[in-house]
Copies of this chain bind each other. A is one copy, B any other.
Amino acid sequence: MRLAAELFAEKGYQATTVRNIADEAGILSGSLYHHFDSKESIVDEILSSFFDELNADNKAVLERGGDPRTVLTELVRNCFRTLVPHRAAVMVMQNDWNYLRQFDRFDYLARAEEETERLWVGQIKRGQETGLFRDDIDARLTYRMIRDTIWVAVRWFQPAGPLDAEGVADHYVAVLFDGISTGPR
């Protein structure tokens, strides 16, 4: 699975052949089918384990409570933290989701994402209602921008680089809440 995930991340799901994965594992392609039903089921396991962990972490943040800014900050940190161990899964989501979503078996991922959207949008709206966030922005649109910006970072983010996950998360949160301008709003 780990080897397959890396190949999917590097070359893309479609461009990775079952034979590639087997080669990497040092076995024959047919032998893979002793462990997996199909190529689809491999990527399914990769993605679902990623989503399961992310959802659990998100729920934990919600349960800890706090004002919307705190909650959003923690959610963002969650994402960037997840980026490292699930780099491959995120990469697949970014590059291959448009292909994978056509298969019924991945419907559950679309539903999971909808639930996540409700969770984030709920926090943004609460922030607007309590006067913490500007109310001239669209909550749903803002969520999508946040979401996309975070996950797409997988394409260039290097944990070994100058900024680690925490560092990038904080940088991102800083821009998100206060913008890049100086001076009064």
Contacts and interface: CB of A to CB of B under 8 A. Distances in A.
B182 A179 contact: no
A99 B141 contact: no
Interface in A163-185: 163, 168, 171-172, 174-182, 184-185
Interface of A: 11-12, 14-15, 69, 91, 94-96, 98-99, 102, 124, 127, 131-134, 136-138, 141-142, 144-145, 148-149, 152-153, 155-156, 162-163, 168, 171-172, 174-182, 184-185
Q: State the majority secondary structure of interface residues on A.
A: helix
A138 to B, nearest CB: 6
Contacts of A184: 184
A138 B15 contact: no
Contacts of A11: 98-99, 102
